[in-house]
A and B are shown apart, each in its own frame.
Chain A
Amino acid sequence: MQGNGFKIGVIVAFLALTLYYLYPTIIWNLEQKQMAELSDTELAEYKSENMEKLQSLRENILSLGLDLQGGMHVTLEVGTPQLIVELAGQNKDEQLEDVVRVARERADANETDFVDEMLAEFEARDPNARLSRYYRSEADDITRRSTNEEIVAYLKTQRDAALDRAIEIIRTRVDRFGVTEPSIVKQGESRIVVELPGVDDEERVRGLLKGTARLEFRTGPDAQDFANFRNRAIEFYNVEADTSDSLSLNAGPSNELVNLMSFVQYPYIFGYASAEDTAAVMDLVTAPDIVRMLPRNTELLWAAYPLRGQEGPDQFALYGVHTEAELTGEVIESASIQFDPTTNAPEVAMGMNNDGARTWSRVTGANIGKPIAIVLDDYVVSYPNVETKISGGNSTITGLDGVEEAEDLVNILMSGALPAPLQIIEERTVGATLGAESIQAGLQSVLFGLVVVAIFMIVYYRAGGAVADLALLLNIIFILGILAGFHATLTLPGMAGIVLTIGMAVDANVLIFDRIREEQRGGKTMRAAISSGYANAMSAIIDANVTTGFVAIILMSFGVGPIKGFAVTLLAGIVCSLFSAIVITRVVIDYLTRNNADAISFG
């Protein structure tokens, strides 16, 4: 019994920690159940009232993998070879294309870096040839005299930048797709993994992810015309609402558009709406009657990002811009962050080629004091005001809200300059129905596995078995707690890992109990047998679990998605089962035998 106070303390602390991590999950599930009973309007009201609470719960729950909740998992690859050829611009020739082709095959076959292979192939053909003949860029300090090593470093930077741009583009697109908790991460040098829970509109997502970005500069409509249009549109819904509601008892003024949007006086912004209302607003403003009211050559486009520095739900602006682009992204040669020397505010410097600069000078000259929209894939990224006529093609975009916005803008401006060809190389979609069935199957397996093993243990080891079962139950709670605490994801193979752990977790207790029986056979008293049973079984338990642990760690580093989930639960299972089988059962057995050592039986 001595020293068990400490052990009990550890057990209680561990259990408390586990329950603390599982608490949001439990509450979340209760909330979900409650919310399922509400009607649509009640639900919307409840959601907006408890938004913060729900949000914080959502962030802390044990999240389910895509295979359980349904959704899409897509791996995209930036086509480095195409990018390298395009970077050469007009300098590219057949030899370069041939080198790229050979290098690509070799890089695939040997799993080496494509750019390194390209240099090797290029130099193998002519040791004295210089890559600088293809890549010259004043902006990046690449001259005729640059060494091949410098060029390789330059190409690698370009590739990394292309990947970052691609991620930025995908993020802006996915954000607008209305997915809860999308995940977009870089993998290796040229891959992006996108996970979209709950999405099964595969065709749309594919188009969204793959299509090259279309960057445009568009002018805005006449401020007065647009303001008039806005007033008429709002008025239109006033009238509509009145007539349709005339029969209802609730005859107060109601305007669908006003309910969904907030309005400001700025002449180029139609209004603001929260992300969840954008679709409903779109339905209203694209009604034929409204479209007819629009000023000539004008359309309404949403902002790519929510209003910055705003409390409460994200608000997106709906802008009025011209339908025709004045310039497209290809004319951009450079974009970089700089800081205002006096205020130190971040700005973006943008350079255009000669053709672009000429048009730009005309467009800016004609629009002094008015804004020009930077539009990416039909979403307005930025809508800066023109201060002066800009000749020479070098412009500065000021008034940005922090370095982050500046970085995003640079990425987007460059995306027009150098489209990174993206290819889907892996795609896995699970429908919500199959996901729900999988949850069901997983839960059933865990439950049945638990029951079968628990009964067997009691039948075989009697009281000892019951103690082991208690440890097993706590073990499963611990595993779930660890998963929630580490923000790991529960996948179907992960549930299989839990089921497997149930079978293997009793192993430590089987080892101990068998040893106790053996010690008893050797003539020891119960108390002595228990003591040496635990002591002597220890080395076997440690060895057996360490080896399985190694395997789990290897799996964790190799596997992706579901398999990683399997490895994580397996590893958590090993750690927990060691703890529960060795520490918890010992404490319980010590307690049961505190007065009479023979009070417990191991069958």
Chain B
Amino acid sequence: MRWFETPNIDFVGKRKAAYTISAILFIASLGAIFTKGLQYGIDFRGGKEFVYKFDQPVNTTDIRDMLTDPLGSTPEVKLFGSETEILIRTDNESSTDEVQTAIETAFAQNLQGNGFEDEKSDSIGPRFAEDLKSAAAQSVIYAIVIIFIYILIRFRKWTFSAGAVTALLHDVVITLGIFTILNDLVPFSLLIDQNIIAAFLTIVGYSLNDTVVVFDRIRENSIVHKGMEYAPMVNKSLNDTLSRTVITSLTTLFVVLVLFIFGGEVLKGLSFALIIGVVLGTYSSLFVASPLVLELDKRAK
């Protein structure tokens, strides 16, 4: 089987259209992030989270209502993978023991005959959350800086570094935007927590992987085809590597889909971020990173 054996797609020629799409997505994402704010999980904002498993299915609205009073504020209540499992998220600052007792008392009173047990509980203090948040931000920044420097050393041209890093920012910001917009709309949690940061960094690594392979080919072609103009050469490089780009993206997409479907509720957010990341990463290395190098190169000259 052979796909895209000798493709001749005019990526470079379509870059204006791609820029428009990217710009719209990027601005929409920034808009969502600034108006709604990043939706942090308790890792980064502090709070408590409990997962309970019941013997019989429960209604999240009922649970929310019966807990509002004892907890002193309306908790977030979502299903956790099945009809009988729920996740409760509260900002109540009492001790975990007290909060847990309050929740369990409310269950015992309101859900008679429906047994339950706690499956998971997380409690993060506000100061600890602050620390985690700054460590996460630092690691994302370090990753981007180190990648910029590595590409600079490897390809000896700042335009490559700038192209790659812009593509990364593009991917990360749009993924963040999608998370922000979709959090209230999907039945699973898309809050930004440690897992999501891990996913982001993986996206950074993956998207870069794609980009670097194309860059590598540009470098090779610029030696082999010395007389060729820059724009067609970039386009040829994209086409030369297209088959590989598509195949690797597909296999990776397969596995992250598998992870999303079979990985369980705990990994939903992480695998969702990876799905978006793989799609965006492939798109951005074809339509953002390399065309941008071309653009920057023209300017520089």
- A547 to B154 CA separation, bound complex (whole angstroms): 11
Contacting residue for B264 out of A438, A460, A510, CB 8 A = A438
Cβ B205 vs Cβ A551 within 8 A: yes
> Is A547's CB under 8 angstroms from B208's CB?
yes
Question: Which of A138-146, A293-301, A494-502 is the contact stretch?
Answer: A494-502
A590 at the interface (CB under 8 A from B): no
Write out the residue numbers on chain A whose beta carbons fall within 8 Å of the beta carbon of B147: 547, 550-551
Contact B213 A540 (CB under 8 A): yes
Who on chain A is nearest to B263 by CB? A445
State whether the Cβ of B258 lies closer than 8 Å to any Cβ in chain A.
Answer: yes
B263 touches A511 (CB 8 A): no
Alpha-carbon distance between A75 and B128 when the two chains are bound, in angstroms: 9
Query: How many angstroms from the CA of A459 to the CA of B209 in the assembled complex?
Result: 24
Q: Are B255 and A449 in contact (CB under 8 A)?
A: yes
The CA-CA distance from A437 to B117 in the complex, in Å, is 15
B1 touches A459 (CB 8 A): yes
Q: Which of chain B's residues have a CB closer than 8 A to the CB of A108? A: 127, 130
Is the Cβ of A431 less than 8 Å from the Cβ of B117?
A: yes
Query: Is A410 an interface residue, CB under 8 A from the partner?
Result: no
Q: How far is the CA of A67 from the CA of B267 in the complex (A)?
A: 11
Instruction: Indicate which residue in B135, B154, B247 contacts A543 across the interface (CB closer than 8 Å).
Output: B154
- B256 at interface, CB cutoff 8 A: yes
Number of interface residues of B (CB under 8 A): 75
In the complex, the chain A residue whose C-beta lies closest to that of B219 is A539
Q: Considering the complex, give the chain B residue whose CB is closest to the CB of A74.
A: B123
Are the CB atoms of A424 and B208 closer together than 8 Å? Answer: no
A566 at the interface (CB under 8 A from B): yes
**Looking across the interface, which residue of chain B has its beta carbon closest to that of A451?**
B258
B74 contacts chain A at the CB level, 8 A cutoff: no
Most buried by B among A111, A430, A431, A496: A496
A453 contacts B262, C-beta separation under 8 Å: no
Complex interface: stretch among B9-17, B171-179, B195-203: B195-203
Cβ contact of B119, chosen from A431, A502, A510, A511, cutoff 8 A: A431
Per-position 1/0 for B213-233, Cβ under 8 A of A: 101110010000000000000
Nearest to A556 among chain B residues (CB) is B139
Kindly state the separation between the CA atoms of A317 and B16 in the bound complex, as whole angstroms.
80
CB of A442 within 8 Å of the partner chain = yes
- B204 to A551, Cβ gap below 8 A? yes
B212 touches A544 (CB 8 A): yes
CB-defined contacts of A453 to chain B, threshold 8 Å: 251, 254-255
B-binding segment of A9-17, A155-163, A401-409, A514-522: A514-522
User: Is B274 an interface residue, CB under 8 A from the partner?
Assistant: yes
> Which chain A residue lies CB-closest to B141?
A554
Contact indicator A456/B195 (Cβ below 8 Å): no
- Those of A92-144 within 8 Å (CB) of chain B: 108, 111
B125 at the interface (CB under 8 A from A): yes
Complex contacts, B51 vs chain A, CB 8 Å = 434
How far apart sit A423 and B263, CA to CA, in the bound complex (Å)? Answer: 34
Residues of B within 8 A of A499 (CB): 255-256, 258-259, 263
Inter-chain contact A493/B209, CB cutoff 8 Å: no
Complex-state Cα separation, A431 to B80, whole angstroms: 14
Q: Does B270 contact A (CB under 8 A)?
A: yes
Given known pairs A424-B123, A500-B274, A554-B139, the reply for A543 and B256 (CB within 8 Å) is no
Does A552 have its Cβ within 8 Å of any Cβ on chain B?
yes
Q: Is the CB of A552 within 8 A of B205?
A: yes
Encode contact with A along B60-101: 1 for CB under 8 Å, 0 otherwise. Answer: 000000000000000000000000000000000001110010
A-B contact count (CB 8 A): 220
Q: List residues 100-124 of chain B with CB under 8 A from any CB of chain A.
A: 100, 117-124
Nearest neighbor of A508 in chain B, beta-carbon distance = B248
Q: Give a binary string over B40-74; 1 marks a CB under 8 Å from any A CB, 0 the rest.
A: 00000000000101000000000000000000000
Contact between A449 and B254, CB atoms less than 8 A apart: yes
CB distance from A111 to the nearest CB of B (A): 7
Residues of chain B with a CB closer than 8 A to A558's CB: 135-136, 138-139, 197
**Nearest CB of chain A from residue B10's CB, rounded to whole Å:** 20
Q: Are B247 and A539 in contact (CB under 8 A)?
A: no
Q: Are B198 and A425 in contact (CB under 8 A)?
A: no
Contact status A67-B255, CB under 8 Å? no
Q: Could you say which residues of chain B place their CB within 8 Å of the CB of A547?
A: 147, 150-151, 205, 208-209, 212
Contact with B along A419-445 (1 / 0, CB 8 A): 000011111111101100110111011
Contact A202 B256 (CB under 8 A): no
Chain A residue nearest in CB terms to B271: A496
Q: Among A423, A433, A448, A563, point to the contact of B262 (Cβ < 8 A).
A: A448
Query: Which residues in A have their C-beta under 8 angstroms from that of B24?
Result: none
Tell me, in angstroms, the Cα distance from A411 to B208 when the chains sit together. 51
Contact A427 B96 (CB under 8 A): yes
Tell me whether B5 and A503 are in contact (CB under 8 A).
no
Report how far A518 CA is from B256 CA in the complex, Å: 29
Asked if B263 contacts A496 (CB within 8 A), the reply is yes
The answer to whether residues A442 and B263 also contact, given A449-B254, A551-B201, A554-B201 and a CB cut-off of 8 A, is yes
CA distance A425 to B43 in the complex (A): 11
Q: Do A550 and B143 touch (CB < 8 A)?
A: yes
The 8 A CB mask of A518-560 against B (1 = contact, 0 = none) is: 1001000000000000001001100111111011101101111
CB atoms of A554 and B121 under 8 A apart: no
A437→B202 contact, CB < 8 A:
no
Question: Residues of A contacting B5 with CB < 8 Å?
Answer: 517, 521
Which among B53, B143, B267 is the interface contact of A441 at CB below 8 angstroms?
Answer: B267
Closest to B143 in A: A554
User: In chain A between 21 and 60, which residues have their CB closer than 8 angstroms to a CB of chain B?
Assistant: none
29 CB < 8 A contacts A-B: A67-B266, A111-B131, A203-B97, A424-B123, A427-B123, A429-B122, A430-B119, A431-B117, A434-B119, A441-B262, A441-B263, A442-B263, A442-B264, A445-B259, A452-B254, A453-B251, A453-B254, A456-B250, A492-B263, A496-B270, A499-B255, A503-B251, A503-B255, A506-B251, A544-B213, A545-B209, A547-B212, A551-B202, A551-B204
**6 pairs of A and B residues whose beta carbons are closest in the complex:** A441-B264, A503-B255, A551-B205, A503-B252, A558-B139, A425-B125
Identify the B interface with A (CB < 8 A): 1-2, 5-6, 51, 53, 95-97, 100, 117-125, 127-128, 130-131, 134-136, 138-139, 142-143, 146-147, 150-151, 154, 194-195, 197-198, 201-202, 204-206, 208-209, 212-213, 215-217, 220, 240-241, 243-244, 247-248, 250-256, 258-259, 262-264, 266-267, 270-271, 274
